[in-house]
Amino acid sequence: QVQLVESGGGLVQPGGSLRLSCAASGRIFDINAVMWYRQAPGKERELVAEITSGGGTSYVDSVKGRFTISRDNAKNTVYLQMNGLKPEDTAAYYCKAQTIPAAYWGKGTQVTVSS
């Protein structure tokens, strides 16, 4: 199994920045990709960014140029650097680790963008 713990959320003004962290433990060598999702109240969960075991990255169009996903293998941690935050980025952010037999989710961290 894989355990994931997100951190770094909070309240930020529009235009501000936050860096989310997703710390993994357990069978981390089975992880093929790590994704960041978000879910706003009343909306479906949305894939925001993904990083593969090979280092490839992808983003939803709405965050391209503003968000950057990266990883620190020594710390078993994946980051989501969020710049130029907008009120519409307000959501609970979750990380997900994909292995061959299963996917694992963290409990999420809240990001609120408001003046």
Q: What is the pLDDT of residues 18-69, one digit of tens each?
A: 999 999 999 888 889 999 999 999 999 999 999 999 999 999 999 999 999 9
Dihedrals phi, psi of 29, to nearest 5 degrees: -75, -10
Torsion of CA 3, 12, 89, 50, to 10 degrees: -40
pLDDT value at 100 more than 90: no
- CA torsion sign for 83, 64, 35, 92 is positive
Question: Is there a contact between 34 and 95 (Cβ–Cβ < 8 Å)?
Answer: yes
**For residues 114 and 28, which has the higher predicted lDDT (pLDDT)?**
114
Q: Give me the pLDDT at residue 29, please.
A: 84
* Three-state secondary-structure class, residue 91: strand
Q: How confident is the model at residue 93 (pLDDT cuts 50, 70, 90)?
A: very high
pLDDT (average), residues 3-32? 95
Q: Give me the pLDDT at residue 49, please.
A: 98
End-to-end CA distance of the chain: 40
pLDDT digits (tens, 9 = 90+) for 70-89: 999 999 999 999 999 999 99
